[in-house]
Each structure stands twice: as structure tokens, then as C-alpha cells.
Structure 1
Amino acid sequence: MSDPYLPQDDIVKLRDTAVEQGLADPMLRRLLFEGVLPKYRGSLPMLPAPGQQVHSDLNEMNRVERLIDGTVPLAVWLRNSVGQLSDAAARDVFQDALDRVVRDAAGEPDVAPDVPTGETKEEIVFRDDTVPFEFLGGGALAGTSVARVKVLPYAGGALLQPLALPHTGTGWLIAPGLLVTNHHVVNARKRTAVERPVVDPADLRLQALGSRSRFDYLAEDEGDAGATPELSAAELLAWDEELDYAVLRLADAPPRPFLRVATEPLTVTPDVPVAVNIIQHPGGEPKRIALRNNLVFEADETDLRYFTDTRGGSSGSPVLTDDWTVVALHRGTRRVSDVSFQGKSTAFVNVGTQLSALMRHLRENSPQVHAEITAAQSALSRPPQPQEV
């Protein structure tokens, strides 16, 4: 049994809010468990009182790290609950709990939440947000370079006992056969209340070699494991915990487009918002894209901070500008209360590692990998810069 995701006080608060908002209605229980393995749902104790049932369900799910298919039942239940709520205060209670569960389940490292205010609704509305039509084709091509990644945890050279359950993330090609994702995706450990366990380097390599990357995994393929092949990794080439990246060489990877990466850090100013796009496999599900309503509001030499829609499984996604150049490696999400975005007093702030910082680290610590990526990148033709609109 793993450490619980949420303290008991939070479970009680969720139960009370669920009862107040009508989520304890037995008729809604099946909807709240939509997406959770039926066998697990059927194993939960059944109680006569609705409030007791919700409390029991929450306690049971809170003790389960993930199921055999890699899903986190508490996260699925909380996400479904958020979708049922119209009261803003109640949604915040559930959304805050969901954010913490998703972050801890993915093993995301802590990112400082204290960020300055910087976005106002007027800066977004009063500008032409159209893009050339070719933008769509470029995105479709970029998406072929993005894969869902599954990683099984090892300990002491063997699969973690008593049951090794898969962790999911997103990865993408930076050069022929070279896949980039987060270190914490390959690390494949849930965050605990006191730490984010980091596995031994030997086990980390085993986890990388045992990873499976599935390209072209689309909604039409959901539920059909044989629709597209899963590629294994031949080598873990480079990684860094602080910048939260890992580079894997895929085994027997067929030719496939790879993404162009930025050579300089993206810079932003408060009065000129920059839109970015994120191609991702949220929750290990088929490929999705968050388009352009994702504004970078702060950047430094190492980090990019932006607003977007992501969730567990999006870790490792490419953060792309409108010419489909990767400017950052998405690594985590935070909710803040001091940032205004589109008229909301609270908003998500996502954090990604600038690709220029990642490449600089590779140049200094893994020069052969850096040289291989640089050679591949130099062979890419640079696209015309998008026109100002």
C-alpha cells in the first residue's frame, strides 16, 4: 500500500463539498467513476448512506497509487467531479485536490509557485489572433514526432514489487531516433509527502530500456493496443534531474520527422504576449493539442511559464511556437492565486525548461549527444518566419 495522496482533512473537505453539491447522489456514482477500471470499482465497499459512500470511496482511492492500466483512480474521480460542478468555490476545492494528486502521481518536482502578476484580459483580446492557414498543416506534421511514453518502475535490478504499474508521459523526437522526455517520466516514481524518490542510475537505465514509445496514437485507435507499434529504447543517452530532461535512443526506429528546436531562449515582455502550442498525451490517452490560447507570461534563461490545459501524462511534451519550433520541454503545472488570466483571479501556471538551456547542458555534459542533435538540426531547412498579423 502506498502513501496516501491527500491528508485526511482534505478527504473530509472533499466529502463535505461533494455532499453539499449533490455529488453524493447514488445516481451520479457511475458517472464519477467513468474511466476507472470496472473491476476496481466493483471491488469497493458499498455503504447505505450516500455521504458515507463518498467518504469510503475517497479513502479507498486515496490509498491506491495507480491501477494495472496506469490510471490513478482518485485523479479520474476528481476530474469527473470537476466536470459536474458549476459552483466556482466547489470547483476550486476539487481542482486544487486534482492538481496535487496529478502532480504527485507523476513525480513532478516542486516548482516555485510565487510568480508575479503579468497578464491582463485586454492584452489578449485586443489583438489579431489569426495565423496563416498553413499553420494547421505544420501542426499535423509536428504531431507525427510526438509519442506516448510508458515506463515500468524497477528497484534493485528487478521490476518493483509487489506490482510494477506503468507511469505515462509524453516524448518527442529531437533527431532521428532520439527521443526527449522528462527525467521524472523515466524516474517513474510517485512523489511522497516528504520527497520525490529518485531511483538508482542502474535502475533508471533499466526503466529507460524497458520504456515503450507509441507514435501516431490517436483517438480513433483508443482501446486497440495493436493499432500502432510501441518502440523500445536501446540506450539512455543523457539526463538531468534539475532541468528535468532525459534523452533516449529508440531501438529499430523507422524514419520519422523530428522537431526543430530553438537555439536561443524565448524572451517575452508584459505587453506582447507570446502564444505557444502543446502536443501531448494527457493521462496516457490519445494525442491531443492545446492551441494558442496558451500565453507565455514570464521567461528566464532556464524556465518558461505559461497558461495552458495539461494534466498528468503531459509531462515531457514539446512547447512550440507558431512556426512549430520547440522552445521548451513541459515539466509541471502549478495553480496560483495572484495571477489574472482572461478575467479569472486564479489560473494555471505551467513550467517548461527552455530548450536552449537543455542544449547548453548537453553541450557541457554530453558533447557527443549534443553534436548528434546539432548535426540533425542543421540539416533542417528553416521555415519562413510567420508574418505579423
Structure 2
Amino acid sequence: MTWTKKLLQLNDVLSDLVPDKDGIIKYAKASGLKPQSMGLGSNVTDIWNTILNEADKSSKIDTLLKSVLDAYPDNLYLKSALTSQEIDFSASPDIDDTADWQDVSDETLELLTMEQSTLLPVNFLAKGVLKSKSVGKVELKIGNNRYSVGTGFLFKIKEVDALFFITNYHVINDKKDIERTRIIFDYELDVDDHSVPSRSFKIDPDGPWYSSGIREYDTTIFQLIDEADRLAEYGWIELKEVEITANDFVNIIQHPKGEMKQISLYHNIVTHTDDRVVQYLTDTLKGSSGSPVFNSDWEVVALHHSGGGSKPGEPKLPEGIKSRNEGIFINKIIQFVKENCKM
């Protein structure tokens, strides 16, 4: 089997959607494969790798995808994988290459079993909805029916009189891509589960362009063209310097896999901080790059940029909890904006 970029991403998506061996075996059998004869191991990614290899040999990739789609009918990537359209998830950097990932502590594991209260005032939800208006999907056309996707958000800081949009450097980093990129707001569902009419904006090619590489702040900042004065409808998130410590809770508003806007609220615990990064346990998927990471007061504490599976020797997490997610500490990004705006 030739592992194209599309199939590699499919392996990642399936591993995220169905992260348990029994579930994988169920879908494999439903597509006419015989997983019992494949000698499957215990690592989810490796199991899906084996299943996809066998499906390819038997010309059953589409059959396998359709069996999974029965359970996830709205999954954008699975649907596109059955067509000529290809979606690139702006592959985030390998967390092992960009940071020193700290182990999950026993104290954090205690918190995950609800030793700490997660009660919040009900207006927490209303505040989150207001913040979510400023979060948009980044879509970069990279070929015929092929798109690279990510997330970003509108922001301001008090010391600078300008409205900016921010995402990751690995999502968009070349000004040559401006014409092929659009930022989409309101790509989400309303309270009746109906699609909200979305609106897209182009990047201002003559406006500011501040970027910082993956190993520094993994950040690209620019302005949007707003000739009809419509951006005001989406407001902005005010960035200010904050404090964040291990075992704080965080929440992420995102467009995982380029799908409609979603929020990760459960079991989101900070495991490590330093003067550059914030590391946390939470649910993110490909396409979440560039999402705002909020604390419980809906203040942005980080710009999400990378994630991964557990590493050898890491404490075993409760079932369903994902590890190794990381964002760039927002204080560093605020300093970065101020330094560039003085130029």
C-alpha cells in the first residue's frame, strides 16, 4: 500500500474517532474484513494502520469508510475521503520536536477522577457563546478540490489600536497564499441544530503580517478585508497577560477536522507551564490548530498548536482521556504583537 498524505491523515482521523480496539474490529468486520487473522496489537494507530492496509489489498477502503460513516454521518473528512476532494489538516508539528513534554502527575490523575469540583455558574455557558463568535475556520485552497484547514480568532490588545486575526504559522505562513485563503465565521449549528448562514472574509494583502516560526511562537497574525463593515458582528477577544498553573482547567473552541465549530469542555486540565508553552489534557483533532485556549474565566491563556498520543512510560490515563496537547503561552504572543507594532 502506498501511504499517500490523504491516507496518512485518514489513519489519524480514524484513530481519533474510534480509539478502542473493539470498536475498530467491529467496523472492520462490517466492511467484510477478517481482523482476527491480522495479529492486531494494542496501539490504536497501529491497529488502524493494519486494517487500512488489509482494506486496500481487498479494495475495501470505501466500504470501510462507509461502515464508520454509519456512526459518524456528519464527519467532513470521511465524506470527502469517498470523493475526489481532499482536505489537509495543516499538520501540526510533532510535539516531541518542539517542546519538552512533561509527564502527567499523580495529582492530575486524581483531578481527572473528579477529586476537584467542576461546578461553574450557569452564565459560564453564555459567556463562552459570546467568545465563540470571534473564532473562525481557516481554509486554504491547495489544489482542485483540495483544502488545508485550521482555526483562528479575532483579537485586540489594549496597547494597540487595531483588530487582528491570529492562527498558527504552520496553518498559513506564506503571503503568497493570501489569495487562496478565506476566513469563515458562523460555520456552526444553532440551538435547533440547523446550520447558521456563514460568512467568509479575505486576508488584507496590504495590511500587517506578523509571523513567528514553529519552534518559537508558531504564530501568524494579519488583518481581514472588511469593506462592508461586517466584522463588527463577530466582535473580538481581548488578549491580556494572565497567570496559568498546573491543574487549572482550560477549554478550547475549535473547528476540528475543518468541521462546524465545537468546544472541548470535559477533563481539560493543565499539566505543565513555562514561559513559552502551556501543556494540557483535552480533546483536539486535526484542524484544531490555531484555536484559543481559555481558562475558566474565558481569558485566553494559549494558542493551541500541537498534540499527540501518550509517550512510553507516561502514567496511564483514564479511558477516553487524551494526552499531550500544547499551546503557546498567550503572554509571549502579546509581547510579540507589541514588538512588531512598534516597527
TM-score (norm: length of structure 2): 0.68
* Paired amino acid for 2:245: V
| Aligned counterpart, 2:245 | 268
| Aligned counterpart, 1:96 | none
Q: CA deviation at 1:137?
A: 1.2
- Match of residue 105, structure 2, among 99, 112, 118: 118
* Paired amino acid for 1:179: F
Aligned residue runs from structure 1 range 102-181, under 5 A: 105-112=89-96, 114-119=101-106, 120-124=108-112, 125-153=114-142, 163=144, 165-175=146-156, 177-181=163-167
In 2: Cα distance, 1:56 partner to 1:342 partner = 36
| Aligned counterpart, 1:294 | 268
8 A Cα contact 1:340 1:346, kept in partner: no
In 2: Cα distance, 1:76 partner to 1:311 partner = 17
User: How many equivalent residue pairs?
Assistant: 279
* Paired amino acid for 2:25: Q
Q: CA deviation at 1:295?
A: 0.4
Q: What is the SS of the residue equivalent to 1:234?
A: coil
* Paired amino acid for 1:121: L
In 2: Cα distance, 1:288 partner to 1:345 partner = 18
Which stretches of structure 1, 4 residues or longer, exceed 3 Å deviation after superposition?
A: 17-20, 22-29, 50-61, 70-77, 220-224, 337-347
Q: CA deviation at 1:283?
A: 1.2
In 2: Cα distance, 1:145 partner to 1:345 partner = 29
Do structure 1's residue 25 and structure 2's residue 21 form an aligned pair? no
Aligned sequence identity (%): 25
| Aligned counterpart, 1:205 | 175
Q: CA deviation at 1:139?
A: 0.4
Q: What per-residue deviation string (whole Å, max 9, x for no partner) do you get for residues 263-300 of structure 1?
A: 14x4424xxx1000100111111111111521001011
Q: 1:51 to 1:123 in 2, by over 3 A?
A: closer
Q: 1:349 to 1:330 in 2, by over 3 A?
A: same
* Paired amino acid for 2:27: L
* Paired amino acid for 2:181: S
In 1: Cα distance, 2:63 partner to 2:335 partner = 45
- Match of residue 210, structure 2, among 211, 235, 238: 238
Q: What per-residue deviation string (whole Å, max 9, x for no partner) do you get for residues 38-84 of structure 1?
A: xxxxxxxxxxxx955665445999xxxxxxxx96559979xxxxxxx
Q: What is the SS of the residue equivalent to 1:170?
A: strand
| Aligned counterpart, 2:36 | none
Q: CA deviation at 1:315?
A: 0.7
| Aligned counterpart, 1:34 | none
In 2: Cα distance, 1:289 partner to 1:257 partner = 18
Q: What is the SS of the residue equivalent to 1:305?
A: strand
Unmatched runs of 5 consecutive residues or more in structure 2? 16-20, 34-52, 65-74, 157-161
Do structure 1's residue 363 and structure 2's residue 333 form an aligned pair? no
Q: 1:28 to 1:130 in 2, by over 3 A?
A: farther
In 2: Cα distance, 1:133 partner to 1:52 partner = 47
Unmatched runs of 5 consecutive residues or more in structure 1? 30-49, 62-69, 78-101, 154-159, 188-203, 370-389
TM-score (norm: length of structure 1): 0.61
Q: What is the SS of the residue equivalent to 1:207?
A: helix
In 2: Cα distance, 1:128 partner to 1:245 partner = 34
8 A Cα contact 1:114 1:336, kept in partner: no
* Paired amino acid for 1:259: I
Q: 1:323 to 1:18 in 2, by over 3 A?
A: closer
Aligned residue runs from structure 1 range 1-389, under 5 A: 4-5=4-5, 21-25=25-29, 55-57=58-60, 72=77, 105-112=89-96, 114-119=101-106, 120-124=108-112, 125-153=114-142, 163=144, 165-175=146-156, 177-187=163-173, 204-220=174-190, 227-235=197-205, 237-242=209-214, 243-252=217-226, 253-255=230-232, 256-264=234-242, 266-269=243-246, 273-337=247-311, 338-340=313-315, 343-344=318-319, 347-364=322-339, 366-368=340-342
Q: What is the Cα-based RMSD across aligned positions, in Å?
A: 3.9
In 1: Cα distance, 2:135 partner to 2:55 partner = 43
8 A Cα contact 1:263 1:356, kept in partner: yes
In 2: Cα distance, 1:246 partner to 1:328 partner = 14
8 A Cα contact 2:133 2:185, kept in partner: yes
8 A Cα contact 1:234 1:250, kept in partner: yes
Q: What is the SS of the residue equivalent to 1:250?
A: coil
In 1: Cα distance, 2:120 partner to 2:321 partner = 28
Q: 1:247 to 1:342 in 2, by over 3 A?
A: same
In 2: Cα distance, 1:288 partner to 1:20 partner = 24
